[in-house]
């Protein structure tokens, strides 16, 4: 009787120890993923962001350019934004591989419950890395398309290193409205910043949608193509249709014209110039700050550069114009 109770107790202790060990292993894996996120090479650096910001500050303080329709600071904003979106333009493009082999059917899912699937070890590790990354670098703000807003703080942020910046407070700092008719400017592919993401090689190279437009000198716009322009980012985004056509237009500096138009225009113009976030969120290229206190680390140098140019323009003493339109509402 005594031996039976003793054995039962030992079995329970053994199970408890196993659970503790399993829990500690999971915690250790989380810590290792977090350390890895910290140790990854950060794209941004103060040596790149700071000199450019100082130049923008000088340009915005120089009253010789106060009356210019295209202020030098605005032109640098366009150049830096265009450079970023040109770099990622083809990142989703799928190139077919001609191997001569028949395509294999999709892998069948075996021994996995469709109601409550059990993730494999590789999936769990991927989730852990993503969670650790967001804890350090935050997560993209995607409520307004592809605009280069600062990252949002992740729910499980490191409170020992960063000040709290809730998603509710973040979103409350963003104010957008439809722009007035006076802000309806012409868009020039290859010159203005345009976010487009072509995904199919065949579509990119075919006659109607893609490179065939160059051969046939056809730059007309279909009814399902939609473009949105955003002040003060001076950025045009493309809807689900037209990504391949506008990518070719950017390469060859050609405007895609709707019937009766002589210049290319967006379908919608939005204005976020009155957003508080431009004045309260900054970056030195290593950290993102809310009211000069860090809330996460920076993972993308170019986004930090674009944001700090905008931040400086929005705080300028006189109107900074692009194509005659003030970006910082000083008039």
Mind listing the pLDDT tens digit for each residue in 118-160?
445 556 566 677 888 888 899 888 777 789 999 999 988 888 8
- Whether residue 103 has pLDDT greater than 50: no
| 17 assigned to some structural domain | no
For residue 195, the cross-strand partners are 237
Range of the domain at 303: 46-95+122-326
Give the Cβ contact number of residue 4 at 10 Å. 8
| 29 assigned to some structural domain | no
Helix (H, G, I), strand (E, B) or coil at 38: helix
Cα separation values, 27 from 20, 23, 33, 62, Å: 10, 6, 10, 55
How high is the pLDDT of residue 122? Answer: 57
Mean pLDDT, residues 170-180 taken together: 96
Mean pLDDT, residues 180-195 taken together: 96
| 240 assigned to some structural domain | yes
How high is the pLDDT of residue 275? Answer: 96
* CB proximity list for 231: less than 8 A, separation 6 or greater: 179, 183, 269, 270, 271, 272, 273, 325, 327
For residue 297, the cross-strand partners are 287
| 273 assigned to some structural domain | yes
**How many separate domains does the chain show?**
1
- Whether residue 116 has pLDDT greater than 50: no
| 158 assigned to some structural domain | yes
Nearest Cα to 306, choosing from 90, 42, 44?
A: 44
How high is the pLDDT of residue 106? Answer: 40
| 187 assigned to some structural domain | yes
Residues listed for the chain: 331
Helix (H, G, I), strand (E, B) or coil at 287: strand
pLDDT band (50, 70, 90) for residue 324: very high
| Burial per residue of 7-24, b for 16 or more beta-carbon CB atoms within 10 angstroms, e otherwise | eeeeeeeeeeeeeeeeee
Tokens standing for 130?
């993503």
| 169 assigned to some structural domain | yes
How high is the pLDDT of residue 155? Answer: 87
Nearest Cα to 301, choosing from 59, 36, 47?
A: 47
How high is the pLDDT of residue 105? Answer: 42
Cα separation values, 212 from 9, 58, 78, 190, Å: 78, 45, 28, 18
How high is the pLDDT of residue 330? Answer: 59
Tokens standing for 258?
């709707």
Taking the CA atoms of 320, 323, 325 and 327 in sequence, report the sign of the dihedral they define.
negative
The model's pLDDT over 231-251, given as tens digits with 9 standing for 90+, comes to: 999 999 999 999 999 999 999
| 22 assigned to some structural domain | no
How high is the pLDDT of residue 104? Answer: 44
CB 144 within 8 A of CB 135: no
How high is the pLDDT of residue 34? Answer: 57
Rounded Cα distance between 11 and 127, Å, is 33
The model's pLDDT over 19-77, given as tens digits with 9 standing for 90+, comes to: 666 666 666 566 555 555 555 544 444 556 888 999 999 999 999 999 999 999 999 99
How high is the pLDDT of residue 79? Answer: 96
Nearest Cα to 190, choosing from 168, 214, 163, 207?
A: 214
Tokens standing for 277?
């976030």
Beta strands in 68-155 (DSSP E): none
* CB proximity list for 37: less than 8 A, separation 6 or greater: 129, 132, 133, 135, 136, 137
Nearest Cα to 233, choosing from 95, 82, 110?
A: 82
Rounded Cα distance between 302 and 310, Å, is 12
The model's pLDDT over 269-314, given as tens digits with 9 standing for 90+, comes to: 999 999 999 999 999 999 999 999 999 999 888 999 999 999 999 9
> Is 65 or 14 the better-scoring residue by pLDDT?
65
């Amino acid at each position: 009787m005594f031996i039976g109770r003793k054995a039962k107790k030992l079995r329970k202790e053994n199970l408890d120890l196993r659970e503790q060990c399993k829990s500690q292993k999971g915690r250790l894996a989380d810590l290792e993923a977090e350390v890895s996120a910290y140790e990854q090479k950060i794209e941004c650096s103060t040596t790149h962001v700071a000199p450019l910001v100082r130049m923008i500050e000088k340009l915005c303080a120089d009253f010789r350019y106060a009356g210019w329709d295209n202020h030098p600071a605005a032109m640098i904003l366009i150049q830096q934004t265009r450079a970023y979106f040109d770099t990622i333009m083809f990142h989703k493009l799928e190139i077919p591989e001609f191997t001569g082999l028949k395509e294999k059917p999709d892998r069948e899912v075996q021994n996995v419950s469709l109601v409550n699937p059990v993730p494999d070890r590789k999936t769990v590790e991927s989730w852990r890395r993503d969670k650790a990354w967001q804890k350090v670098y935050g997560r993209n703000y995607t409520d307004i398309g592809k605009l280069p807003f600062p990252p949002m703080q992740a729910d499980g942020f490191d409170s020992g290193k960063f000040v709290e910046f809730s998603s509710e407070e973040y979103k409350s700092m963003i104010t957008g409205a439809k722009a007035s008719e006076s802000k309806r400017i012409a868009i020039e592919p290859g010159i203005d910043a345009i976010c487009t993401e072509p995904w199919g090689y065949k579509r990119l190279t075919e006659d109607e949608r893609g490179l065939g437009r160059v051969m046939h000198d056809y730059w007309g716009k279909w009814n399902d193509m939609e473009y949105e322009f955003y002040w003060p980012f001076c950025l045009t985004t493309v809807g689900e249709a037209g990504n391949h056509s506008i990518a070719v237009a950017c390469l060859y500096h050609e405007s895609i014209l709707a019937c009766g138009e002589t210049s290319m225009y967006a379908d919608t113009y939005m204005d976020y110039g009155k957003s508080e976030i431009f004045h309260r969120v900054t970056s030195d290229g290593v950290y993102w700050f809310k009211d000069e206190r860090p809330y996460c680390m920076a993972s993308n140098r170019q986004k930090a550069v674009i944001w700090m140019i905008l931040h400086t323009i929005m705080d300028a003493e006189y109107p900074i114009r692009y194509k005659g339109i003030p970006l910082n509402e000083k008039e």
